[in-house]
Amino acid sequence: MAERLEQAATAAGAQVRRRHVKEIAPAEAIDANPAWRAHVDATADEPVATPDDLVWADVVLLGSPTRFGNVTSQFQQFVDTLGPLWAEGRLADKVYSAFTATQTAHGGQEETLLSIHTAVMHWGGIVVAPGYTDPLKFADGNPYGVSHVTGPDNDAPLGDAQLDALDHLAQRAISVAEKLAG
């Protein structure tokens, strides 16, 4: 999902930094889930997010897998490091949008997106949800962000509805940020 958002934002003319949060789970937990292990291995050489990445950006597209109806502990740990920037007001007045994936339908996607939005609101950020601002959102079905069901083996590919919704999310967030900038 993050790769598609990066492509859409780049196509819209944005400068992009795609990052992932630091993996803090124990190796035994990761190794017990082949899809998780594959993801960790595939992203091992990608840059890890830092608080400065959020300061740099005018638009931040935040994503987390859903774990029991909430963001992952890894994502939350990163958010918890942002207190000093929040206190300085350096996370405020930026556009934020969110995306998530679950293994099961109705696995807590909306709650995860709202959890991300809650942090953003505390920072003074501007939540730009897709809403139903484009008919394609009726196929995707999530007005709070973009979500995807990966299936029981975490291997369900993104469908056209999700790909279109991701493109729309990136374009909408950038468009709103441009309007706010004047």
pLDDT mean for each 10 residues of the chain (182 residues): 98 97 96 93 96 98 97 98 98 99 94 98 99 93 95 92 98 98 92
Of 108, 90, 88, nearest in space to 100 by CA? 108
Domain count, the chain: 1
> How far apart, in whole angstroms, are the C-alpha atoms of residue 104 and residue 102?
5
CATH number, domain with residue 135: 3.40.50.360
Q: Which residue has the tokens 């990608």?
A: 46
CB 95 within 8 A of CB 59: yes
CB 6 within 8 A of CB 16: yes
pLDDT of residue 141: 84
pLDDT of residue 68: 94
Q: Which domain holds residue 9?
A: 2-181
Q: What is the DSSP letter of 14?
A: -
Instruction: Confirm whether pTM is higher than 0.85.
Output: yes
pLDDT of residue 106: 87
